Structure 1
């Protein structure tokens, strides 16, 4: 690939300006060597390689230092060659590691100080100070450009990582919602299908009730799916001004599940053959939507596991409203036909338990799922509830 047009313009323009300055600079006292073809050739050797300075910064730096040093040693007018050295140093500082650029800065300063011996009498000290300051300025500017580029790249990588993490979190959220919505209803449908098939001929009324429960569970699963899709499609940037009010069907679809629907959940589980006793203690109050949904999903998942693994067990659900927290406990009596074993070391837990823990951690709360002391299995949830004036 050819060098960029800007690099070519810079190198050729610098050569033209330096050559013109060398040709027109007066020297009545004969301080410097007379201009000749060699002087212009050395200037060309200093400036023309700068077209490759961004591709090969160290090679161009070495070449520039060699030819500038030769130019100074031969005694030509020194000022016109200093710009090439400064440009090469800036490029190295902006593209190479700091250790390398510092060494190049020291070499640049040495070459330029060697050139100050050609200064006019009485200004040698000023020339030395000038080239020292110029060297420091070029290095600092180049190093600052390098650091800014690195910070920009790091920021871009962090933004990409945040975007990937957000996508992963959203996928986990969708997976958790799908599990919570589908698993319970499918479990109920599975149990009721088996029951209906078993008593289809011998007990038609029971079979019809089972089929009704299957239909109710299927409709509820579809309603839950619609609610979830509404949440996932919701655009937080859209305003409400000028928008029409949703109709009753949309309002119902957008409403989230909560402990207010606990009776409906218990009825459906009872129809699946699992008797559930519900007790609510404390003074009930309206929970924040997220906490309400969290508590409902934990109860739903616990009852789903009872349906799967202990369909003959009697189950109790306890909900206690405290001043600054809500506590939920789901316990069966241990009449299990297929108790699931705890996950072995290195083996992931089930999606239901993972989902319960993820939901609870958000608020933050605690959830435990373990064998009960008197037999059976128990799931306990405890979530703090921030309330106005409650000190939470």
Structure 2
């Protein structure tokens, strides 16, 4: 069931307007019009009080107000005393309803204005007609401007909300990529090493101890990266000054450390670096590091023991990262056939990172050479590195 409850501001405005109309009506005698009697007061109430509901039903209120005003004028009372409410009603319709409806209500007010002038033999019809055109038109124009401003404000608010939702979605995707890269890689190494330690625990204690040491180092590194991510996610006001500064994001300088860790997991990995090494933007280095990390994680999962090559090539304006499973006829590789072109989080993360920094990535079998290959090309020149690099710090 619909309930029409006027806003408090509109109710107070209607009461104030009625009070002013009654006070102004006391000047009717000085204007050569009959003094207000009970019927006059009732009609003034009918003209002004309905505006309390103008926001709920603007057109109906406008028609009701003008009908009461016509009766008030026909009874011979001074029209000016009841003119404020019709003006407010026309403005409200123009600010809330389509142009066709608001124009009709504006014409209605002008017509009633002319009708009041025709009933008064002392009126100058030229002045009355001019007022009947200018005042309704001005109120209509103010209402239309208010309607357009409100529409623009709503559109702006919707765009801001949509932008905020999109930024939240993008940030969630970035966090998901980071969590996947950290958890998947380190847990894969821990899983392989724990299996090795369990297998040789009794027969080869030194190897078991080495595997446990790798597990300890890997888990410590994973915890440190998780803590760093959590610190980045906390609001600045929540950080206390006693916390140590965030550790730098991993980059190509730690590539050898990651390769050594994977090699300890039983995968023969070789790292080659060609070209002139140079510092890269933090985001570019992180992108290359994460792609290598994901590729080696897939080696641990799908091709343990397969010889793998990680090659880093520094060019004049780009850096190329190559991860190749060179085992001929293995049937498995860096990216197994069942997930090439798939929708796994790792593949999505690789492609999104490459796209973010203006790079290209190819993932798939090596054709006649056998095995699988991941190739990432990232631009490093100042004109092509994006500003998002600095936000990855």
TM tier, smaller: 0.7 to 0.9
CA shift, 1:259, in A, is 0.8
2:306 to 306, 309, 313: 313
2:255 to 255, 262, 275: 262
Deviations 1:209-257 (A, max 9, x none): 222222222222223223333433473999xxxx89x8xxx46x51221
SS of 1:279's partner is strand
Structure 2 CA distance for partners of 1:136 and 1:324, relative to 1, 3 Å = same
Matched, 1:21 2:14: no
Alignment of 1:147-226 (within 5 A): 147-226=148-227
2:337 equivalent in structure 1? 341
Structure 2 CA distance for partners of 1:263 and 1:51, relative to 1, 3 Å = closer
1:123 equivalent in structure 2? 124
2:42 equivalent in structure 1? 41
Deviations 1:331-369 (A, max 9, x none): 111454656334599xx6111111112222222211121
Structure 2 CA distance for partners of 1:236 and 1:387, relative to 1, 3 Å = farther
Q: How far, CA to CA, are the matches of 2:321 and 2:190 in structure 1?
A: 26
CA shift, 1:376, in A, is 1.1
Number of residue pairs matched?
378
Unaligned runs of 5+ in 1: none
Q: How far, CA to CA, are the matches of 1:233 and 1:5 in structure 2?
A: 42
Deviations 1:244-293 (A, max 9, x none): 9x8xxx46x51221111111111111111111222212111100111111
Aligned 8 A contact 2:28 2:36 in 1:
no
Q: How far, CA to CA, are the matches of 2:181 and 2:92 in structure 1?
A: 59
CA shift, 1:65, in A, is 1.6
Bigger mean CA deviation after superposition, 77-86 or 299-308: 77-86
CA shift, 1:116, in A, is 2.7
TM-score calculated relative to the size of structure 1? 0.85
Q: How far, CA to CA, are the matches of 1:234 and 1:14 in structure 2?
A: 50
Structure 2 CA distance for partners of 1:290 and 1:237, relative to 1, 3 Å = farther
Q: How far, CA to CA, are the matches of 2:20 and 2:286 in structure 1?
A: 75
Q: How far, CA to CA, are the matches of 1:358 and 1:137 in structure 2?
A: 56
SS of 1:129's partner is helix
CA shift, 1:327, in A, is 1.1
1:377 equivalent in structure 2? 372
Bigger mean CA deviation after superposition, 183-192 or 33-42: 33-42
Alignment of 1:292-303 (within 5 A): 292-303=285-296
CA shift, 1:36, in A, is 5.5
TM-score calculated relative to the size of structure 2? 0.84
Aligned 8 A contact 1:231 1:254 in 2:
no
SS of 1:24's partner is coil
